[in-house]
Amino acid sequence: MHKIKTLENGLRIATLPMNHMESVAIGIWIKAGGRFENAKNSGISHLLEHLLFKGTANRDMMTIKQEIEGRGGSFNGFTSEEHTCYLVKVLSKDAELGLDILSDMVLHPKLDEDEIAKEKDVIIEEINMYKDMPSHYVHEILAEMMWPGQPLGLPLAGTVESVRAITKDDIVKYKETHYNPKNILVAATGKIEEDALAGLSQKYFRSSPPGPISKFQKVVLEQKNPEFRLITKDTEQTHVALGFHAIDRFHPDRHVLSLINVILGANMSSRLFHIVRDEMALCYEISSSLRRYEDCGVFIVSGGVDNKKLVKALEIILRELARMKREPVGAEELRRAKEYYKGQLLFALEDTMSHMLWLGEKVISNEKDFSVKSILSKVDAVKPEDLIRAAGGMLKNEAMNLAVIGPVKDEKEVRKVLKIS
């Protein structure tokens, strides 16, 4: 059972002892990410995350790597729309070293001017690389369509212009605003006890003063009609991303939508993979995904289709989405979807790092449902009529957005399928 403790300065600590393990996974989670940015400083969360690996006031870049990897451990970091996370996995005997290094990175980064300039160049190359990858870039276009003029519609890495314009002063100010104990969670799973983690967290964070709690701009949804955006490009495949506005991470129907996702496109036995790829050979890759944020969500169907078969593929995809809203899912198909969903959750929780990521995201997001038994029970309770109801609420024509990159010759045919003028 996980335990949560809060220090006097606001720092939260989440611990899940797994004493049968030899390792411990530790993550420092911060309420900072793409949603806390604007068009001017877009990409600053991601840039700051990169810079924290470039050295601290106490350790240079190579020392950080050698101290962790020289003990057989691993470490990494990532930036998402609502969080930034720095993480290590080490043997339990090295837990203090792991937290020492992570806290040093978070609290005392060097932020050297030369390293900032170099890392900005690296990220600009990353941005340019993604623009040359239609399978990735099509998702950026879709986000911009779904949340126009809002932080969620901006690319996490930023734009070439925004990254170039970010100064060291901007980075320092952003870090001082968001990287304070009231926005930080220390989460650990594995061979470590609650009191031990609390003691270490107190040791390394006690001198860090509290600051304001980070808040982001909530989304404003004003879409009234389906939207379509085409980037004509000479590619070997036509890349599509079809998105619908969905529910947030706290909604009672979140497990219902997860099952809809499994049934439609989350694995190789899903309807879209089986029909669009295996039966009709319209594409090589097709899948669906579900993303949840604190105040909204998105359901996406994406893939790369044969250039000559785009219209046919879209017709089949939309037909299957409509069937989800209309026809009850059979007992056997629903059973398989539930078993897949539950199995994936249980598999993830076997590993200390996966379990830390699961726990950390829930705590930093203020979710309340941590009981695996409760989650499995709610999944088992989903009925076919729940799927029809939830699909009907999500898969609305007026909430549909389609981004396409490829050599499309007849845009009118695509618009006709989407029923947009």
- Determine the Cα–Cα distance for residues 287 and 304; give it in Å rounded to an integer: 10
- pLDDT, tens digit (0-9, with 9 covering 90-100), for 179-190: 999 999 999 999
pLDDT of 421 strictly over 80: no
What CATH topology corresponds to 227-418? Answer: Cytochrome Bc1 Complex; Chain A, domain 1 (3.30.830)
For residue 227, list its beta bridge partners.
401
Q: Which one of 22, 37, 49, 385 is the catalytic residue?
A: 49
- pLDDT, tens digit (0-9, with 9 covering 90-100), for 214-243: 999 899 999 999 999 999 999 999 999 999
pLDDT of 420 strictly over 90: no
Mean pLDDT on 23-30? 98
Can you give the pLDDT at residue 48? 98
In this structure, what token pair is assigned to residue 309?
A: 């078969």
The confidence band for 196, taking pLDDT boundaries of 50, 70 and 90, is: very high
Mean pLDDT on 167-173? 98
pLDDT of 369 strictly over 90: no
The confidence band for 410, taking pLDDT boundaries of 50, 70 and 90, is: confident
Q: Global pTM?
A: 0.96
Can you give the pLDDT at residue 58? 96
Looking at every residue in the chain, the average pLDDT score rounds to 97
Can you give the pLDDT at residue 168? 98
* Residue 80 one-letter amino acid: S
- pLDDT, tens digit (0-9, with 9 covering 90-100), for 287-311: 999 999 999 999 999 999 999 999 9
Which residues, in sequence order, are CB contacts of 421 under 8 Å at separation 6+? 415
Chain region(s) in the chain for CATH 3.30.830.10 = 3-205, 227-418
Which residues, in sequence order, are CB contacts of 35 under 8 Å at separation 6+? 81, 82, 151, 152, 216, 217, 293
Lowest mean pLDDT among 76-80, 278-282, 362-366, 416-420: 416-420
- Determine the Cα–Cα distance for residues 288 and 311; give it in Å rounded to an integer: 18
Mean pLDDT on 276-285? 96
- Determine the Cα–Cα distance for residues 263 and 178; give it in Å rounded to an integer: 39
Judge residue 193's burial from the number of C-beta atoms within 10 Å of its C-beta, 0-12 exposed, 13-18 middle, 19 or more buried. middle
Percentage of the chain with pLDDT > 90?
97
CATH architecture classification, 3-205: 2-Layer Sandwich (3.30)
Question: Among this protein's residues, is 49 annotated catalytic?
Answer: yes
Lowest mean pLDDT among 128-132, 224-228, 359-363, 416-420: 416-420
